[in-house]
């Protein structure tokens, strides 16, 4: 989809109701709902993070979404695909600022290019004890991505049409933090398997976009 067409439609999302847990459940690993239920009390005091779902035109004017492949490290999200974003810092005015600041740090998109369209449903991540607040945003200018080498292994530019294509919603077997493999719903985007919390948040974004596109 050309970005000008996308831009005309995506602004309608601002007035739509969020799908929240209904969308999240479609892309949830089978064990996650029970785990999150058990940790409801802990979730109330969870650390906070903000992430950005940023859509933009590529050089040919087609609509794309940026994701990142995180570095391999000793942690629960090692080598996983996610949104640019990160932990709330005391000096951040709010979590939207956190998401925008971290996006600039991780992929080099300056704040002045980012226009947030919609605050999406927050999602609790039990393994890392984070409450993640996602924001749907656009950049009307083609970004000049600059990878933060310390944290980002690769920048992944996903074509909107590929993201919305049902062929790219799959079931796959993945290892978990419980040292067992389970079948989970996932997206396959640019050859990367995207599952867990990122897939759940993407699921809600996809459901909203399908209301307006």
Q: State how many domains the chain has.
A: 1
- Alpha-carbon distance of 192 to 155, in angstroms, equals 12
pLDDT at res. 77: 47
- Alpha-carbon distance of 174 to 198, in angstroms, equals 14
- Extract the residue ranges of the chain whose pLDDT is less than 70: 33, 35-40, 73-78, 176-179
The pLDDT tens digits of the residues spanning 160-205 come to 999 999 999 999 998 766 667 889 999 999 999 999 999 999 999 9
Task: At 191, list the tokens.
Answer: 């050859």
- Alpha-carbon distance of 155 to 6, in angstroms, equals 22
pLDDT at res. 29: 86
> What is the CATH number for 199?
3.90.79.10
Specify burial of residue 11 (Cβ count, 10 A radius: 0-12, 13-18, 19+).
middle
pLDDT at res. 106: 97
pLDDT at res. 114: 98
- Alpha-carbon distance of 78 to 196, in angstroms, equals 13
Whole domain around residue 184: which residue ranges? 3-212
Give the global pTM: 0.93
pLDDT at res. 30: 81
- Alpha-carbon distance of 43 to 37, in angstroms, equals 10
């Amino acid at each position: 989809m050309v970005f000008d067409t996308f831009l005309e439609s995506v602004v309608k999302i601002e007035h739509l109701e969020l799908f929240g847990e209904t969308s999240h459940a479609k892309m949830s690993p089978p064990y996650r709902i029970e785990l999150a239920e058990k940790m409801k009390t802990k979730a109330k005091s969870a650390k906070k993070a903000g992430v950005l779902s940023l859509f933009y035109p590529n050089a040919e004017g087609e609509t794309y979404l940026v994701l990142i492949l995180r570095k391999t490290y000793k942690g629960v999200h090692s080598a996983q695909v996610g949104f640019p974003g990160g932990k709330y810092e005391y000096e951040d005015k709010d979590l939207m600022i956190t998401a925008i600041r971290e996006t600039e740090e991780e992929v080099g998109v300056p704040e002045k290019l980012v226009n947030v369209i919609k605050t999406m449903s927050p999602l609790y991540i039990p393994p890392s004890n984070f409450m993640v607040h996602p924001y749907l945003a656009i950049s009307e200018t083609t970004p000049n991505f600059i990878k933060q080498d310390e944290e980002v292994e690769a920048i992944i530019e996903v074509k909107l049409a590929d993201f919305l294509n049902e062929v790219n919603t799959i079931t796959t077997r993945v290892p978990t933090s419980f040292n067992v493999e389970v079948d989970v719903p996932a997206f396959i985007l640019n050859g990367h398997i995207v599952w867990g919390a990122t897939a759940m948040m993407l699921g809600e974004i996809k459901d909203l976009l399908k209301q307006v596109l």
